[in-house]
Structure 1
Amino acid sequence: MTVIVDVPDYMRERCARLGGGVLYAVKVLARQLADEPRLGERTGRLGLYAATIDGGTFDECPPLMVSYAYGPPLLDADRIEIRDVTATGPLPDDGDDQAPAPAPDPRMEQIAARQVTEAWRRITDWLEQNAPASHAALLPAAPERDITALEQELGVRVPMELRALWLLCAGSKDIPASCFLPDNGWALMPLGTVAESYHWHMENQRETGRGRSGGDAPVWKPSWIPFCSWSVTDTSVGLFIDAETGEVGHWDDTAVRTVEDKSMTTLLEEIADNLENPQLATGYRPGLIGERLVWGPPGAADEAALWRPFTS
């Protein structure tokens, strides 16, 4: 049986950023995988594997970790898809002024985690005082092991900002009070829903065939991790964070994907600012229906009749 190995365009671009010889090295590995699909070691979820490349074997190529999906339940039995290429050693110095982006700075990640923690506590303090039903809808913190298990299942490193949020709150309960983001209805996704949504998007990416050579931009990149949706059960629209850049993006049910120049920290700080200073809010404003937060004015007539804008 002939196995087709796909290296999507966005993976080719990443290879180019890592070094002039990286794409060639990955292509060599792809030819090996076509003959021996289980060459790599299985990682976490069934169907995900990781293989290493010795950088000394190829010019202008650092040592690499290559993650790939093979066969069911993620792909057809005769298909492999390269999902991630990560340098595990120093990048080659090619003399180009536009060098590849450095690895995350642990000090900067610590600062980002503190900023997320501060913004989230401002939000939860407001909810506890003014919208206790919405506060009660938040799930407790996720253990580190659950986040690590999710990383292994997705084959993607969770960025520090999202990890910091999940270490404070691992999503929302499936009740109306769970919506707290300023789009008249957004809920934090529990980790299980995150995994389900991610796999659905990746499968949709595979089935559409977009993002392959000669195609359009990808419908979903492996580095995009969903974290928020219309509700816990309705994931037709939502927000994701790009694990490579830290930027927050939006998806909807018409295959529109928009990446904004906004970080998780900025998103949470804007929510906290709007709650604490509702007179400065643009677009949807914070309000209450009973003891739950509802951004509005709501579009539904029954909710609009009950909704009261919050004034500090």
Structure 2
Amino acid sequence: MAESVPVTCPACRREHVYAAPTYPCACGAPVTPALDSRAVPESVTHHTWDEGWVTIPCATCGRADQWPRPELGCPCGTVLRVPVAGTALDGDGPADTAETDTRGAGAEAEAHSDVGSGGADGSSRAEPEGAGGGAGTGPGEGSGEGGGRRPPPKSRPQRLPAAVSLPLPRTEPVPRPAFQPVTIRTARDAVTAAALYLRWLGYRDIRRADQRPPSGIGLAARGIVAQVDPTVRPASLRDVECLWLTAMTESAGCVYFSLAGYEEDARARADSLGVPLFVLDLTGTPQPANSLADELVATGA
């Protein structure tokens, strides 16, 4: 269970008790942000996508993912951003490990090159010319069998054994853990639920889409463009077509998340264009709305 910390609103000085939400890691373990009770909470006047996410490592497997930054709404109307200890904003991450691995690999390759070149100091060793005997007489000098030195026999090149190709072991796909939903109360929760579901399907590096859709909020990951519609209006045919055109310009697939469902012509066009449709329920679990969405859930990214 997450630890509760006291939070004081800087606007009205009202005291609150806040407990950070728990998110599911890809390994199945719960991930809870460590709140900093000594830091002063900030008032949020304008939401930005980068400041709304925080990097939190999993205590079980060590995996670091981006999760929604903890926020608290005060009855006076102020939105408070609760400080998190030992984390960084979205986009910041521990890059020292990769750099250390690269340096270690370079040092190892350099050591192998030194060994292959000869001695430890890198100098090559070669036998001196004429080793094994002095200068003999020429072919026209002397008589009999000892008239000249026979050249050393040529060494035959060693024949290497033919490479044997071994069959690679078959690896079964790792089953995904059960999806842990986030209750949808606001439009921001709907976007969070869609982002968590895309990550559960296997997509990584989920971010805000570069192109803003005509309605709703756009998300993007490697190989996929998603649109989240948190309004109470069913998605129309035009909404589905605009998402499909955006995915074509990005050379990626697409998926649609709607809170209020879809119109009949929008469903028909999504089936013809190959767009998976999901409906977001209030529990935060996206429900497949066509056969393409069922196939995406079964196969994953």
Question: Shorter chain as normaliser: what TM range?
Answer: under 0.3
More RCO (CA 8 Å, sep 6+): 1
> Which of the pair is proportionally richer in helix?
1
TM-score by length of 2: 0.23
Bigger Rg over Cα: 2
TM-score by length of 1: 0.22
